[in-house]
Amino acid sequence: MKTLFLLAFCTLLKYTGAVCYSGSSPVLCRDDSCNGSCTTDNGCTCNDGITNCIPTGTLCPMDDNTCCASLNDLFWDNDLDCCTDKPICNPGCFSDETCVIENNVTSCICNKTIYSGLTISGLKPSVNCDGGTMIASVSQCKLKQLGYNYSSFHLINDSINCTYIYPENIHNVRVESIQVKAVIGWCGNTVKDNSSKIFFTNTLHIDPFRGPLITRNPIVFNFTCEYNLTMKTSLNFALNPIVSSVVIPSSGPEIGSFTVTLAAYSDAQYSVPIQLDEEILVGSNIYLGLFSPNLDGNVFALRVEKCFATPSSNPDDPNNVLFVSGGCAVSDNIESTVLENGISTEARIQINAFLFQGFSQVYIFCDVKICNKTNSCKGCNVDRSLKADLPQLGIQLNLQANDDFGSSGHHTAVSWPMLLVYLLGLLSLKLF
């Protein structure tokens, strides 16, 4: 039995590669003749306060190499609770690294035996698609083993504004990572979408280490992230979406404040937001989306009471066109459809793009409210109990006349106030 125990102990020592220091010079702190102690300020000394000693067991509260290294080029082993001659790196090495002594200093280097036989075909980046950021990561040691420089990470667009690289620890492996914003048009992103998801793809380039001979080609990885598309999330994927937000109070027995956002989209799925610098062709469809992300849809609903358009940023501009009133579409020279209103945390309105005579911008204003579902949020009746001033959101759209539509397709709006001025002008000409 003793023989078996001895064999097992020797095997353990061989596996760990470490043996506790048991010499007498310097003396062990626990030795009766020393009876030493260790402090952060003074290191490890015997009870005479002069003689240095080697820590062991509980007599090394610093938990680092300070005492071991300064006295006898030893290293503190946390597992054995003693000083050993086995190199111990602090902080510790990752799972694919080993600790060595270089120039009397311990450092972590890649363990080449782990990745022996590795080929480029076995080198694949891990991809994290958390939130609105794509992160591609590759093991630093794998790249070194294959002769590639992990610090050379870059995208299709390798400008400084598109290069966000950094080292990190993933599953106890040191990796190099690069961040990519999941935004349409950002740094070479290519985008595909369907009715429910949007897919972002970019390309990671890694160069080989430079030398007198070129023996390797750069590595190129395409990586893709997919995200669920909603009216709200699609705004996160646009560089400069047209949006407006306002904080409004709720009505009913449960009082609170909620943020409501108005945005413009170019598709019926509300997945492609219209950008600030984008010009919209007269006659094309514009989809107005309103939503309140922090609204409890089981209790409350978002209702649009009124929407109108003006040629200026002044909502009181007398030259205006009304296209939603009392929660429903109205006909005032503009084609409009209320697709959803007063039944959920979202409202959807479709209008046909138009121009005011002599203007290239159209300003859209919508009056909204939060109503309790126990009351009527739906229907086309104007709520007479509402205050005169409802919370209002406004956005600006840039329009461009489309000559291909012909004169009947320009949808140039002439409001009732402007028409009245025109008729009065004709009457005055007849009088004179």
Q: Say whether pLDDT at 412 is over 70.
A: no
DSSP-derived letter for residue 268 is T
Domains in the chain, please, with CATH? 8-88 (no CATH), 120-228 (2.60.40.3210), 239-416 (2.60.40.4100)
Ranges 12-26, 76-90, 276-290: which has the least confidence: 12-26
Residue 315: is the preceding peptide bond cis (ω within 30°)?
no
Decide: 94 and 172 in contact? Cβ < 8 Å: yes
Q: Say whether pLDDT at 127 is over 70.
A: yes
Q: 257-275: per-residue pLDDT in tens?
A: 789 999 999 999 888 899 9
State residue 406's pLDDT score: 43
| Average pLDDT over the chain, rounded to an integer | 82
Predicted structure pTM score: 0.62
Residue 407: φ, ψ to 5°: -65, -30
Neighbours of 52 (CB within 10 A): 18
State residue 226's pLDDT score: 92
Q: Which residue type is seen at 147?
A: G
Q: What is the mean pLDDT of residues 142-161?
A: 93
Cα distance between residue 7 and residue 19, in whole Å: 15
Q: 352-404: per-residue pLDDT in tens?
A: 999 898 898 999 999 998 888 877 788 887 654 455 568 899 999 998 876 65
Q: Say whether pLDDT at 287 is over 70.
A: yes
Element housing 14 (H / E) = helix 2-16
Q: Say whether pLDDT at 405 is over 50.
A: no
Cα distance between residue 7 and residue 319, in whole Å: 97
CB neighbours of 295 closer than 8 A, spacing ≥ 6? Answer: 258, 302, 345, 370
**pLDDT interval class at 254 (50, 70, 90):** low
- β-strands 27-28, 53-54 pairing: parallel
Decide: 413 and 333 in contact? Cβ < 8 Å: yes
Residue 85 CB burial class (10 angstroms; 0-12, 13-18, ≥19):
middle
Q: 243-252: per-residue pLDDT in tens?
A: 999 988 655 5
Q: 417-429: per-residue pLDDT in tens?
A: 444 433 334 334 3
Q: 314-343: per-residue pLDDT in tens?
A: 999 999 999 999 999 987 678 999 999 999
Q: What is the mean pLDDT of residues 278-291?
A: 94
Q: Say whether pLDDT at 20 is over 80.
A: yes
Closest CA to 243 of 221, 224, 260: 260
- Write the DSSP assignment of 314-378 as a string of letters: -TT-SS-EEEEETTEE--SSS-EEEEE-SSSSEEEEEEE--EETT-SEEEEEEEEEEEETTS---
Sign of the alpha-carbon torsion through 352, 354, 360, 363: negative
> Any bridge partners for residue 166, and if so which?
177
Q: CA 245 from chain center: how many Å?
A: 21
Residue 91: is the preceding peptide bond cis (ω within 30°)?
yes
**pLDDT interval class at 207 (50, 70, 90):** very high
Q: Say whether pLDDT at 5 is over 80.
A: no
Cα distance between residue 216 and residue 231, in whole Å: 46
Residue 116 CB-half CA count within 13 A: 4
Neighbours of 229 (CB within 10 A): 19
| E strand spans, 85-218 | 97-102, 105-110, 126-128, 133-139, 165-170, 173-181, 190-193, 197-206
Q: Which residue has the tokens 């959101």?
A: 393
Cα distance between residue 133 and residue 180, in whole Å: 6
